Structure 1
Amino acid sequence: MLRQPTPFFFEQGPQAVILLHAYSGSSNDVRLLARFLQRHDYTVYAPIFTGHATDDPRDILREGSPEQWWRDTQAAIKAVRAAGYQQIAVFGLSLGGIFATQALEVDQELVGGGVFSSPIITNQHTNVPQQFPRMARHVYRQQDLSEDQIKTRLAWIREQLPIQLGQINQFVTGVQANLNHVKSPFFIAQGGQDEMISAQSGLQLKQALEQTGQVVDYHFYETASHVLTVNTAHQQLETDVLSYLTTIFEVDNDN
């Protein structure tokens, strides 16, 4: 079996950043950004959501749920605080952005944070129903399973996936309804060639937040696809996140 990713905690400076990964992803989604921030004296923690980073994609559907991933997020914040860090920002990629946003709505002690390619505004088309089975098939073929075994597993995935995606959409509806509870400046990054969600998602979130009077730091990477933390935009994203962090932590230090 291939070695699976694990959570990481890069301890460096006194200000901490939590990075939450994408649906069907892992801490590897955010490792490049984490190392960049560590080099700039930030401590970075990247947990792994329940059911992810195992040998079987079905575990995401069997063990995971929005409620469980929200508990994972709360546990990550608690762990960083328990390690002695009080100035904390939280960001999430795609699915992770849903829980980063929820955290910023309910935990006013967080300094700030935001989302990368995250579908916070609901009722939008996504390509997850097509992409997840393709990812699963690739994993199973690497494991030398028979075609019959693969077909059986994929049939189960196709049956269960819409149920979980419906649960995620329901959870997002609650997050969207409480955007007015965000009190810190909010970072948004969106790729113009996003193959998973609408390229308008980031702009729509920006507009929704600004309607509630929030300060938004919005970045649009016209030629970039969905996974901004590793694709052609990753270096610019790193620079933009660093600039944002410098601003929010400076503001926090002045208070």
Structure 2
Amino acid sequence: MFKAQKPFLFEHGPRAVILLHAYASGPNDVRLLARTLEHENYTVFAPLFTGHSTGEPLDILRLGDPNVWWQDVKAAIEYLRKKGYQSISIFGLSLGGAYAIKALEMDNQLVAGGSFSAPVLTESFSDISDEFYRLADMTYNAQELNETEKLGRIAQIRQQLPDQLALIDAETANIAAHLSDISQPTFVAQGGADELVSPESGKLLSEELNHSDVSFKWYETAGHALTVNSAHKQLEADISQFLKSIYSDEE
């Protein structure tokens, strides 16, 4: 049975962290990291990108696009500010990481942020297509759709997905073109066994952030989903240390 993922907010101390999930996924991507941070008295908000986790993968293509998801990110930041949080950092996994980087470019009031396995400086994000089809197949199987209905929906995905991935490539290219706008401390994490973006992309990103104090972390044997795979505990410790170093500099 399909179980929808929902946004979550863990309210604790005055320092807030936004965690953005990956493309074709949901906030569970970042729940382990969120739990670690809430135990350290951070307030943590994990929004849900439009069209995601509805039980219908086609909704990602019908309802979402890069501009809509950017509006989601801005709304998440504004949501916390309206609740009174002024000290906000933002991080994300994969495409969520690309949007975290964009947020740092566009909003200099953010304290810090970073990305995990972000497709910012990679040749193309189109390699994600096979993963999208796999996740769609799993979703439809969980709903016990008959084969004819399932194949019909998969056919629609095959027709629409390339156009959306092209828009994502254009968005990440635009993000890559403005990296020098970032002056806040930035955390960049990359797995050496990343199966969806080039493992070199994380190092390239860290090198292009030439106006930022960058903390680059390399997880040699880890794949793409750093927040939930074999690297997650070390990632959590590294993020914790990164945030502590920022706030110790402020004090």
TM-score between both structures, scaled by the size of structure 2? 0.97
What displacement does 1:113 show?
Answer: 0.5
Distance 1:78 1:131, change over 3 A: same
Higher mean C-alpha displacement, 170-179 vs 126-135: 126-135
Q: Which deviates more from structure 2 when the two are superposed, residues 116-125 or residues 131-140?
A: 116-125
Residue range with higher mean Cα deviation, 118-127 or 187-196: 118-127
Query: What is the alpha-carbon distance in structure 2 between the residues aligned to residue 145 and residue 2 of structure 1?
Result: 12
* Paired residue type of 1:83: K
Q: Which residue of 2 aligns with 1:171?
A: 171
The number of residue pairs the alignment matches comes to 251
> Any gaps of 5 or more consecutive residues in structure 2?
none
Q: Which amino acid aligns with 1:228?
A: L
% identity of equivalent residues:
49
State the distance in 1 between where 2:76 and 2:98 align.
15
**Separation in 2 of the partners of 1:135 and 1:2?**
12
Give 1:118's aligned residue.
Answer: 118
Q: In structure 2, what is the equivalent of residue 250 of structure 1?
A: 248
**Distance in 2 separating the partners of 1:86 and 1:74:** 14
Q: Secondary structure at the match of 2:235?
A: helix
The answer as to whether partners of 2:89 and 2:113 remain within 8 angstroms in 1 is: yes
Q: Which residue of 2 aligns with 1:237?
A: 235
1:41-90: per-residue Cα shift (whole Å, max 9, x none)? 11100000000011111100000000000000000000011111100000
**1:126 positional shift:** 4.8
8 A Cα contact 2:126 2:166, kept in partner: no
Contact 1:124–1:198 (Cα < 8 Å) also in 2: no
CA distance in 2 between counterparts of 1:247 and 1:53 reads 35
Alpha-carbon separation, structure 2, partners of 1:241 and 1:60: 29
The 1-side partners of 2:5 and 2:84 are apart by 25
State the SS of the aligned residue for 1:127: helix
RMSD over aligned Cα atoms: 1.1
Deviation for aligned residue 1:125: 5.9
Query: Equivalent residue for 1:187?
Result: 187
CA distance in 2, matches of 1:187, 1:231: 18
Q: In structure 2, do the counterparts of structure 1 residues 134 and 95 end up closer, same or farther at CA, with 3 Å as the change threshold?
A: same
Inter-partner Cα distance in structure 1 for 2:32 and 2:119: 22
Corresponding position of 1:2? 2
User: Is the 1:122–1:169 contact (alpha carbons within 8 Å) kept by the matching residues of 2?
Assistant: no
Q: Which runs of 4+ in 1 moved over 3 A?
A: none
**Residue 227 of structure 2: SS of its match in structure 1?**
coil
What are the within-5 Å matches in structure 2 for residues 48-127 of structure 1?
A: 48-124=48-124, 126-127=126-127
What corresponds to 2:217 in structure 1? 219
Mapped contact 2:92–2:115 kept (Cα < 8 A)? yes
2:55 counterpart SS class: coil
What residue number does 2:143 align with? 143
Asked whether the 8 Å contact 2:51–2:60 carries over to 1, the reply is yes
For the structure 1 residues 54 and 125, does the alpha-carbon distance in structure 2 shift closer, same or farther, using more than 3 Å as the test? closer
Relative to the length of structure 1, the TM-score reads 0.96
Output aligned runs, 1:24-43, within 5 Å.
Answer: 24-43=24-43
SS of the residue corresponding to residue 71 of structure 1 reads helix
- Secondary structure, in 3 states, of the residue corresponding to 2:236? helix
Gaps of 5+ in 1: none
Structure 1 residue matching 2:18: 3-state secondary structure:
strand
Give deviations 1:7-34, integer Å, cap 9, x for gaps: 1010011100000000011110000000
Is this contact kept in 2: 1:111–1:249, CA < 8 A?
no
Deviation at 1:213, TM superposition (A): 3.4
Instruction: Please report how far the alpha carbon of residue 3 of structure 1 lies from its aligned counterpart in structure 2 after TM superposition.
Output: 2.9
Shift of 1:138: 1.2
